[in-house]
């Protein structure tokens, strides 16, 4: 292997180069770099079979950049470049080795490389940025963005160097230049268990501390007024068509109040009201003036009535998307005087005498319960009713015309055991009755299914004019067949609504709702059937 100088016209891109994708990526900027600084690294070539001609197997993008310079007439085709000549059989291996072992530069290193170049250049900042952009074949916006990224908070840069976050996430943090705010949002995002450092969430949190230039408040006061008052601007360098950010939100709010105070008297006079309040939206009317109360007035009818009657009224306005003052849906009317609530007696602990009196009243109530309980002598409950003794808790629920008193019934273990023998035959008889009932129900179901099948067949063969179809979910549809062949709800049975059920044919209807309980030739016949069913249902519940 040896290095020689070979004219560009005798070189060509080899098919042995393993890089098949992104061959043309950023060739223009690479050409600008070579034109500025020259070719810093030789190409690797192999003979192509023609004497003095070679194919480039490593350094293909550099070779393409040189060809572009020839097209621009910055170089001549005879321009000689340094090449390392290898045997053709080693070409693929050399190409693979060069591409396989290439390690991409960490984005943070790129930021600081741009910063170092610009800091070391002469002239104004804008000139230095323009020089750097031209030098590397990128836009000035790209260079300014890299400078912003180089100024990220230290914690964000370290995360980028350590591959904790990627370049897209770093650019989200750099959407504002406030490094303290960046660090604060980064710490919060690091604790997020779901999608930490998500670019959209990061931008949202960062910009939550600022007003965009498209904010209604900013449009109301004007961006120039904010700048004249000393307000600071920030710009998102990474989002296309991004808006300016106004960092001093308190100043914006102050300017809005000042501008509104200048206009509110004129607005009050225009609308013939006592005053105007600035709210944040149509339904958030702002602070309620003292002595007034807010009322809902969506259509403005109350305001018109009060204006006509010359009653004292205040209105609420808010800023629309264009920064213009518009009426809200709340008005203010004089507050009605509220009745003074009676003072509640303060808690006072009971004295010993009061506690004893309360205990006596409770015990007397218990004894009255025992005396009022119905006598059980001579009944099945004789000797079995257990009443609470004096001093025990008992339950007494007050009803409309009396009290529900709680007592207990006593049953011995021997008595319960004796009754178990009698309970067995009772249960067995119930099981037999249940089996008979289920069999009868199944037989009725099978008979009904048979009737349904016969009915469906009959309807398919000769569809009547009016059909009642009840689905398995209990929803009943009475359908009428129109001349077009479609089936509609019968208006008289559907509160006058003529609703298309969406079935194009009876066959489609029956395929979708196969359960047909009956069919009638007229509405009157169906209504008679429905009335009979209602009467039967009423009888079952009585």
* DSSP string of 57-88, one letter each residue: EE-HHHHHHHHHHHHTTSS-TT-EEEEEE--G
The model's pTM: 0.40
> In sequence order, what are the residues at sequence separation of 6 or more whose Cβ sits closer than 8 angstroms to the Cβ of residue 513?
469, 471, 477
Q: Could you tell me how far CA 71 lies from the centroid of its own chain?
A: 54
> How remote is the C-alpha of 143 from its chain's centroid?
36
Q: How many CB atoms lie within 10 A of CB 238?
A: 20
Report pLDDT digits (tens) over 130-162.
777 776 666 777 777 787 888 888 899 888 888
Q: What are phi and psi of 508, to 5 degrees?
A: -65, -40
Q: Using a CB cutoff of 8 Å and minimum separation of 24, what contacts does 319-325 make?
A: 319/216, 319/217, 319/219, 319/220, 319/278, 320/216, 321/216, 322/216, 322/219, 323/216, 323/217, 323/218, 323/219, 323/220, 324/220, 325/220, 325/260, 325/263, 325/267, 325/278
Contacts with 523 (C-beta within 8 Å, 6 or more apart), sequence order: 466, 490, 492, 493
Each of the 542 residues of the chain gets a pLDDT tens digit; together they read: 667 888 888 888 887 664 544 445 567 777 877 777 777 778 888 888 788 888 888 888 888 888 888 888 888 888 888 888 887 776 655 555 555 445 455 677 777 777 777 777 776 766 777 777 776 666 777 777 787 888 888 899 888 888 888 888 888 888 887 888 889 989 988 888 778 888 878 877 877 777 888 889 999 999 899 888 888 777 666 666 667 778 788 899 999 999 999 999 998 998 889 999 999 888 888 889 999 999 998 788 898 898 889 899 999 999 998 999 998 899 999 998 877 777 777 878 889 999 889 888 877 877 777 777 777 778 888 778 877 776 677 777 888 888 887 788 888 888 888 888 888 888 889 899 999 999 999 998 898 778 777 766 776 676 656 666 655 555 555 565 554 555 554 444 444 444 444 555 666 666 665 556 666 666 677 677 778 877 777 766 55
Distance CA 276, CA 271 (A): 9
What's the length of the chain?
542
pLDDT at position 21 is 44
Whole-angstrom Cα distance, residue 183 to residue 160? 13
- Give the pLDDT confidence score for residue 439 in this predicted structure: 94
User: What is the structure's pLDDT at 338?
Assistant: 76
pLDDT recorded at residue 314 = 94
| pLDDT for the residue 60 | 81
**Orientation of helix 60-71 relative to helix 27-37, angle to 10°:** 80
Residue 329 in contact with residue 315, Cβ under 8 Å?
Answer: no
Query: Could you tell me where the beta strands, DSSP code E, fall in 160-237?
Result: 211-212, 233-235
pLDDT computed for residue 273 by the predictor:
92
3-state secondary structure of 295: strand
Question: Both tokens of residue 144?
Answer: 């300014």
Alpha carbons 92 and 96: distance in angstroms, whole number: 6
């Amino acid at each position: 292997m040896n290095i020689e100088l070979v004219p560009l016209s005798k070189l060509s891109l080899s098919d042995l180069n393993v890089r098949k994708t992104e061959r043309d990526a950023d060739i223009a900027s690479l050409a600008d770099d070579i034109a500025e600084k020259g070719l810093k690294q030789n190409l690797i070539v192999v003979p192509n079979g023609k004497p003095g001609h070679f194919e480039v197997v490593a350094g293909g993008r550099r070779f393409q950049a040189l060809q572009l310079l020839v097209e621009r007439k910055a170089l001549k085709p005879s321009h000689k470049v340094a090449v390392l000549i290898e045997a053709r059989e080693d070409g693929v291996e050399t190409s693979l080795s060069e591409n396989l072992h290439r390690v991409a530069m960490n984005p943070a290193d790129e930021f600081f490389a741009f910063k170092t170049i610009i800091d070391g250049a002469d002239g104004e900042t804008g000139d230095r940025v323009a020089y750097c952009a031209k030098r590397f074949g990128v836009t000035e916006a790209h260079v300014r963005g890299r400078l912003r990224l180089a100024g990220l908070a230290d914690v964000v840069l370290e995360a980028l160097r350590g591959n904790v976050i990627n370049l897209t996430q770093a650019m989200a943090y750099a959407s504002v230049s406030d490094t303290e705010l960046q660090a604060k949002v980064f710490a919060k995002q690091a604790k997020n268990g779901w999608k930490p450092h998500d670019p959209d969430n990061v931008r949202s949190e960062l910009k939550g501390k600022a007003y965009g230039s498209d904010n209604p408040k900013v449009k109301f006061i004007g961006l120039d007024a904010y700048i004249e008052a000393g307000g600071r601007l920030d710009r998102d360098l990474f989002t296309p068509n991004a808006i300016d950010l106004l960092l001093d939100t308190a100043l914006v709010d102050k300017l809005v109040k000042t501008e509104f105070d200048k206009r509110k008297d004129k607005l009050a006079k225009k609308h013939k009201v006592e005053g105007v309040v600035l709210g944040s939206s149509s339904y958030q009317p702002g602070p309620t003036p003292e002595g007034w109360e807010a009322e809902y007035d969506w259509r403005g009818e109350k305001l018109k009535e009060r204006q006509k009657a010359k009653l004292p009224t205040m209105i609420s306005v808010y800023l629309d998307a264009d920064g213009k003052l518009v009426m809200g849906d709340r008005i203010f009317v004089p507050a009605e005087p509220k009745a003074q609530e009676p003072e509640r007696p303060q808690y006072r602990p009971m004295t010993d005498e009061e506690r004893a009196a309360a205990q006596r009243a409770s015990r007397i109530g218990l004894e009255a319960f025992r005396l009022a309980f119905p006598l059980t002598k001579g009944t099945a409950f004789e000797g079995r009713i257990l009443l609470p003794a004096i001093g025990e808790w008992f339950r007494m629920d007050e009803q409309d015309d009396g009290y529900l008193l709680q007592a207990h019934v006593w049953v011995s273990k021997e008595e319960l055991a004796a009754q178990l023998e009698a309970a067995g035959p009772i249960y067995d008889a119930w099981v037999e009755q249940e089996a008979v009932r289920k069999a009868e129900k199944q037989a009725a179901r099978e008979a009904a299914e048979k009737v349904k099948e016969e009915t469906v067949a009959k309807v398919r063969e000769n569809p009547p004019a009016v059909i009642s179809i009840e689905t398995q979910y209990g929803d009943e549809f009475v359908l009428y067949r129109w001349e077009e062949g479609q089936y509609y709800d019968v208006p008289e049975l559907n509160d006058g609504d003529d609703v298309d059920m969406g079935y194009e044919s009876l066959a489609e209807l029956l395929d979708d709702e196969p359960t047909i309980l009956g069919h009638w030739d007229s509405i009157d016949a169906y209504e008679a059937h429905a009335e009979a069913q209602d009467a039967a249902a009423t009888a079952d519940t009585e």
